[in-house]
Amino acid sequence: MIGIASGAVAARLIKTGRAPRLLRNRSPGIIENASDAIISTDEMQNIVLANPSAAAMFSTTVADMQGSPLSHFISPDPVLLASAGSAPNVSAWFSAGRSGRRATDYAVTGVRAGGETFPLEGSVSSSTESGESLYTIILRDVTERQQVQEKLSRSHAQLRQLSAALQTIREEERTHIARELHDDLGQLLASLRMDLALLKQQPGAGADALRLMNGMEENLLTAITSLRRIATNLRPRALDEGGLFFALQGLRDDFVERYAIPVELYADENELRLDDGASTAVFRIVQEALTNIARHADASLVNLNLYRTDHQLLVTIRDNGRGITPDDMEKAQSLGLVGMRERVWAMNGEITISAEEPPGTRIEIVLPLPD
């Protein structure tokens, strides 16, 4: 049962001047009928006024709230209290000054009469009356919002897991297809070329036949070259046989040959001895970055820098092209950037993509590595 004395209490506080200015300018009826929970406390953090909405929020009565310590109903963030000093006032309970605070971090925790806790947001105003500080708190129950945030977080985590699983499956399929192309189709084409070379050596072949066989050999060479390029794009053999450093060298050489854009690679082979998952992820990230540069950057130089420090791999990819814009990064069709971010986040890493001055784009990636 909600107490009906709050209007009288508010009236008495207003009449005696002890209520904050925020309340003194309002009638007791407005306070009592307000849909928001309103609480006033003195300097000792004891409740001197609570409206029915506040009592309903905490599943108690106005009479039981009045005179009780505020801490019976609100448990502030201990980090905020610690940063506020040994004897913080009520305003510090709701401070959002902690570094890195997000919208999903709730300022305080409410405690209902039965012991149930729930998240609260609140705003505080203070006033001084006859040398005594009074605080007025307007509270909002954000349980539903928190539940929505938690559902969104779970959905986001599930999507991340799905994305990582799909990346793994796709990489396995790429590896399988690349090996099939190289080991089966590649050997078949090589065998045909050898048979053709033997056929050309047979006596009695006319000029027209030799011309036809030479054309066939050229086509076979073109097919073998294309097959190797496709297989390498799917899964470079250097990644499995030589490791990440040699795979990146091959990727750089192929990029320079195809696009005539110089690429400077700064890396140490010993620092790039990573497990298969990490090596594949870094290779694909660099590959995607180079693809984006070739398609969109209009660059004449690319720098790749990879080095290890403090159990982390730092990757920097820079170009001197036109520079990426915020709109470019937000485009729905920027699947390459999305894929890069997903690979980095799957490794619990961080990625920053920004435009440089003079024009160009800089990609910085930090990936944690096991000891």
Tens of pLDDT, residues 30-46: 677 788 899 988 888 89
From 89, 39, 88, 42, select the one nearest 64 (Cα to Cα).
39
In percent, how much of the chain has pLDDT > 70?
82
In percent, how much of the chain has pLDDT > 90?
26
Q: How confident is the model at residue 15 (pLDDT cuts 50, 70, 90)?
A: very low
In CATH, what number is assigned to the domain containing residue 354?
Answer: 3.30.565.10
Q: What is the pLDDT of residue 6?
A: 43
Average pLDDT over residues 276-291: 90
129 and 148 co-located in one domain: no
Q: How confident is the model at residue 10 (pLDDT cuts 50, 70, 90)?
A: very low
Q: What is the pLDDT of residue 80?
A: 59
Average pLDDT over residues 16-26: 49
Q: Which H or E element spans position 341?
A: helix 335-346
Q: How far apart are CA 111 and CA 46, in angstroms?
A: 16
Q: Which of the residue ranges 45-54, 155-164, 220-229, 239-248 would you say has the lowest mean pLDDT?
A: 155-164
Number of domain units in the chain: 3
pLDDT over 90 at 56, yes or no:
yes
228 and 154 co-located in one domain: yes
The edge-to-edge listing of strands for the beta sheet with 312-319 is 263-266, 302-309, 312-319, 361-368, 350-355
Average pLDDT over residues 179-184: 82
pLDDT over 90 at 263, yes or no:
yes
For residue 247, the SS3 value is helix
Q: How far apart are CA 191 and CA 209, in angstroms?
A: 20
Average pLDDT, the chain: 81
pLDDT over 70 at 26, yes or no:
no
pLDDT over 90 at 245, yes or no:
yes
Residue 302 placed within a domain: yes
Q: What is the pLDDT of residue 85?
A: 56
pLDDT over 60 at 100, yes or no:
no
Contact 361, 319 (CB under 8 A): yes
Q: What is the pLDDT of residue 160?
A: 76
Among 123, 141, 159, give the residue marking a domain's end. Answer: 141
195 and 227 co-located in one domain: yes
Residue 68 placed within a domain: yes
Residue 127 or residue 265, greater confidence: 265
From 293, 313, 309, select the one nearest 301 (Cα to Cα).
293
Q: How confident is the model at residue 106 (pLDDT cuts 50, 70, 90)?
A: low
**Beta strand extents in 58-187 (DSSP E only):** 74-76, 108-111, 117-129, 132-141
Query: Residue 229: what residue type?
Result: R
179, two tokens: 């090996």
Among 235, 255, 280, give the residue marking a domain's end. Answer: 235
Residue 212 or residue 94, greater confidence: 212
pLDDT over 90 at 132, yes or no:
no
Residue 98 placed within a domain: yes
Q: Are strands 350-355 and 108-111 parallel, antiparallel or unpaired?
A: unpaired
Residue 1 placed within a domain: no
In CATH, what number is assigned to the domain containing residue 12?
Answer: 3.30.450.20
CA 243 to chain centre: 28
Residue 265 or residue 85, greater confidence: 265
pLDDT over 50 at 212, yes or no:
yes
From 73, 67, 72, 69, select the one nearest 54 (Cα to Cα).
73
Q: What is the pLDDT of residue 122?
A: 83
Q: How far apart are CA 103 and CA 86, in angstroms?
A: 27
Q: Which of the residue ranges 27-41, 187-201, 227-241 would you say has the lowest mean pLDDT?
A: 27-41
- List beta partners, residue 352: 364
Q: How far apart are CA 86 and CA 83, in angstroms?
A: 9
Average pLDDT over residues 273-279: 88
Q: How confident is the model at residue 5 (pLDDT cuts 50, 70, 90)?
A: very low
Residue 177 placed within a domain: yes
Q: At what angle do helices 335-346 and 143-180 cross, to 10 degrees?
A: 100
- Most confident by average pLDDT, 169-173, 234-238, 243-247, 340-344: 243-247
120 and 193 co-located in one domain: no
Residue with tokens 């080991």: 183
pLDDT over 80 at 244, yes or no:
yes
67 and 119 co-located in one domain: yes
Instruction: List the domain range (segments joined by +) for residue 276.
Output: 243-371
267 and 320 co-located in one domain: yes
Q: What is the pLDDT of residue 252?
A: 94
What is the chain's percent helix, strand, coil content, to nearest 5?
55, 20, 25
Helices (H), 181-206: 186-200
Q: How far apart are CA 221 and CA 346, in angstroms?
A: 40
CA 243, 246, 250, 251: dihedral to nearest 10 degrees? 60
**Beta strand extents in the chain (DSSP E only):** 37-41, 47-50, 74-76, 108-111, 117-129, 132-141, 263-266, 302-309, 312-319, 350-355, 361-368
Query: Residue 182: what residue type?
Result: H
Q: Which of the residue ranges 6-10, 154-158, 159-163 would you say has the lowest mean pLDDT?
A: 6-10
Among 213, 235, 257, give the residue marking a domain's end. Answer: 235
